[in-house]
Amino acid sequence: MGARTKTAKYAVGFTFGSFVLIIIAFSTPYWLQTDGELEEPKFTNLGLWELCLSNFEDVHRFYDVRFSGCMWIFEEEYYIIHDFILPPFFITVQFFFTLAFTLLLFSVLLTLLFLTCSKDHERYMLLLITNGSSLVFAGVCATFSVILFGCYGDSRDWMPNWEHNNMGWSFALACPGSLMLFPAGILFLIEARRLKYKRLNEIGSRDAAYSLEDRRRYGGHTDI
C-alpha cells in the first residue's frame, strides 16, 4: 500500500504540490493588478471570478453608472459591462483553467485511493493509467490557459490604464502549478508501465516454472 517506489513518491509530491498552487490561483483575485503608481486607478485587481474597480464607468457611455469595489465577475450589476470585462479570450481562460482544476480534483481523489490501494488489486494498473492521463490532460488545459492570459491579460484593449497593469501573484502561482501537472502525470504513467512489465515477467517466470515441473513429472528432459 502507498507510494513505495521513488517514481510513485515523486508523482504524489508533484500532484499535491500542483494542487496547492492551483487551488490558490483558482480562488484568489490577483491574476492581474495595478502597479500602484496611479493615485486613483479605475482598475485595481482581477481574478478568474472576482473583479475590483474604482469609480469605473461604462466605456461605451450607454449608462451613467460607476462601479467601485470588488464583486463576483458575473454579478448582475456588472451585466451592462460584460462585453468589456468578459472578452472571448478571458472566457476561454476561465473555461480551460476550470477544466484543469476539475481534473486535478479528480486526480487528487485517485491519488488518495492510490495511497490506500494494494498493488495486487486487479484494477491497480488502471488506477495509475487513469490518474496519469487525467493529470497530463489537466496540464495541457492549465498551461494553455496561463499562456493565453499571459498574451492578452495586460493588453491595451482590456482593463483601463493598461500601462500600469501587471501580472499578479495568483497568475505567478498558476504557472508553476500548471507545469507541475506534467511530471506528476508522466510519473504515474511510468509507474504503470513499470508495473506492467513486472507482472509480465512474473507471468513468464511462473509459466516457465510450471513447464519445467510438468517435464519432470512426466519424465521429460529438463536440459535447456
Q: Distance (Å, rounded) from C-alpha 74 to C-alpha 18?
A: 27
pLDDT computed for residue 2 by the predictor: 57
Class of domain 6-199: mainly alpha
Whether pLDDT at 206 is above 70: no
Q: How confident is the model over 12-64, as pLDDT tens digits?
A: 999 999 999 999 999 999 999 988 787 788 889 999 999 998 888 776 666 67
164 vs 181, residue with greater confidence: 181
Confidence check: pLDDT of 76 > 60: yes
User: Which position has the higher pLDDT, 68 or 20?
Assistant: 20
Domain ranges of the chain: 6-199
Counting residues of the chain whose pLDDT is more than 70, the rounded percentage is 82
| Whole-prediction pTM | 0.83
CB 135 within 8 A of CB 184: yes
- C-alpha cell belonging to residue 218: 512426466
Q: Give which of 89, 62, 84, 77 is closest to 159, Cα–Cα.
A: 84
The alpha carbon of residue 118 and the mean position of all alpha carbons in its chain are separated, in whole angstroms, by 27
Is the model's pLDDT at 121 over the cut of 70? no
Note the pLDDT of residue 54: 86
| Per-residue confidence band for 209, with pLDDT thresholds at 50, 70 and 90 | low
Q: Which of 11-20, 99-108, 167-176, 207-216 has the lowest mean pLDDT?
A: 207-216
Angstrom distance (rounded) from CA 117 to CA 4: 12
Q: Which residues contact residue 185 at a Cβ distance below 8 angstroms, ignoring those fewer than 6 apart?
A: 107, 131, 132, 133, 134, 135, 136, 137, 138, 139
pLDDT of residue 222: 47
